[in-house]
Amino acid sequence: MKEIIKKNKLKNNGYRFLSKVFSDEIYVVFIDNKYIAISGFCPHFGGPLVLNENNEFHCYWHDWKFDVVEFKCINNNYKRSLKRYKVIELSDSLEVYL
Amino acid sequence: MILKFKISRTVNVSKYVALWNTWDHEHLPYVHKQFGNSKILYEDKNVVFIETKMKIPFTPFFISSLHTLTNTKDNNVLVIDTMPFGIIAKLYMEYIQLSPKKTRLVNHYELSLPGFFLPFKKIIISSIRRWNNVNWNEDLPLKLRRQLALDFGFKDFFGNDPKNKNKPDILNLPLPRLRGSILNERN
């Protein structure tokens, strides 16, 4: 199962879309010369994770923040990582896999 | 003097989602400009006593307020607040589920005010309506997104209701939260 996304859909703070394939909201960002795809639902209560100016995934509902390396919560005692998707870069598109 | 009035609104979410938003006290300081930090003084499965910092309208100042919320027998919410100048505000929040994803929220206000507030009756009602409107608009994206997330099979960090995983329409109180939650400082 995969989703294909055109690269030109990505804006500065990424691109999010609802995926029926994965039954999830997928959020794709470009950081440190690579594409990263995560579930856009904050694991707390489902708020919107957004890449902020400090290169953290941030949910404004309850101020939860996650790092972009290990995808761990950095300001709350929450142990699990964010749900990630594999990304394969093609010339003008991205393939996203679970 | 008793002042009674209603504010009624409809939202495209289930009663479960609408109630979740009311009982999620952790979002107050992050989502609502009118609230500073909140702290839970006491809570159990039917009641919460919560201290909030509330902004005084038209000023940059915040004052401490005590709110009590009760989960009523009919699965609605009764809020009783004591306010400056001897005002007691009673608010019965009635959640009427019109369809699986449509809920009407009727706020029944009953304010007990000292008689000298009589000339300000209209201003008080209009201020509360405005306050309610601001809160509603700030909360609306949360409710709609939460409904969307649940529709997509999203499970909360605590896994929703373990007895009813596919249909999370039972709200167990208090909502689970982490040990380091900002609400826990007084506990």
With residues binned 3-state (H G I as helix, E B as strand, rest as coil), the percentages for chain B, rounded to 5, are 30, 35, 30
Q: Give the residue carrying structure tokens 């209009």.
A: B126
pLDDT of B163: 56
A6: β partners: A93
Nearest to A63 among B20, B30, B154 (CB): B30
| Whether A77 and B154 lie within 8 Å, measured CB to CB | no
B142 close to A (CB below 8 A):
yes
Query: Quick check: B83 and B68 in contact, CB under 8 A?
Result: no
Q: Which amino acid is at A96?
A: V
pLDDT, greater one: A13 or B46: B46
B180 close to A (CB below 8 A):
yes
**Radius of gyration of chain A from Cα atoms?**
13
Q: How many domains does chain B have?
A: 1
Cα B90 vs. chain centroid, distance in angstroms?
13
* CATH architecture under which domain A2-97 falls: 3-layer Sandwich (2.102)
* Per-residue pLDDT tens digits of chain B, which is 187 residues long: 999 999 999 999 999 999 999 999 999 999 999 899 889 999 999 999 999 998 887 788 888 889 999 999 999 999 999 887 888 999 999 999 999 999 999 999 999 999 998 999 999 999 999 999 999 999 999 999 999 999 999 988 876 555 555 555 678 899 988 988 889 865 4
Q: Give the residue carrying structure tokens 């393939």.
A: A95
Within-domain flag for B178: no
Within-domain flag for B58: no
pLDDT of B187: 45
The helix/strand/coil state of B126 is helix
B64: β partners: B53
Nearest to A41 among B149, B178, B179 (CB): B149
| Whether B30 and A62 lie within 8 Å, measured CB to CB | yes
| Whether B146 and A76 lie within 8 Å, measured CB to CB | no
| Whether A46 and B145 lie within 8 Å, measured CB to CB | yes
Chain A residues whose beta carbon lies within 8 Å of the beta carbon of residue B149: 25, 41, 45-46
Query: Quick check: B105 and B93 in contact, CB under 8 A?
Result: yes
CATH number for position B85: 3.30.530.20
pLDDT of B35: 92
Query: B110 is in which domain, residue-wise?
Result: 2-33+74-160
At A39-95, the pLDDT tens digits run 999 999 999 999 999 999 999 999 999 999 999 999 998 998 999 999 999 999 999
pLDDT of A44: 95
pTM: 0.92
Chain B residues whose beta carbon lies within 8 Å of the beta carbon of residue A63: 30
Within-domain flag for B148: yes
Query: ipTM of this model?
Result: 0.94
- Give the other-Cβ count within 10 Å of B6's Cβ: 10
Residue of A nearest to B156 (CA): A45
pLDDT of B60: 86
Residue of A nearest to B146 (CA): A46
* Interface A-B: count of C-beta contacts within 8 A: 50
Within-domain flag for B17: yes
Chain A residues whose beta carbon lies within 8 Å of the beta carbon of residue B26: 62
| Whether B142 and A61 lie within 8 Å, measured CB to CB | yes
Q: What value does the mean pLDDT take over residues A20-29? A: 96
Query: Quick check: B146 and B154 in contact, CB under 8 A?
Result: no
Distance from CA of B121 to the nearest CA of A (A): 35
Within-domain flag for B186: no
| Whether A61 and B153 lie within 8 Å, measured CB to CB | no
B143 close to A (CB below 8 A):
no
Residue of A nearest to B178 (CA): A77
Nearest to A76 among B30, B31, B180 (CB): B180
Nearest-angstrom CA–CA distance, B125 and B133: 12
Domain residue spans of chain A: 2-97
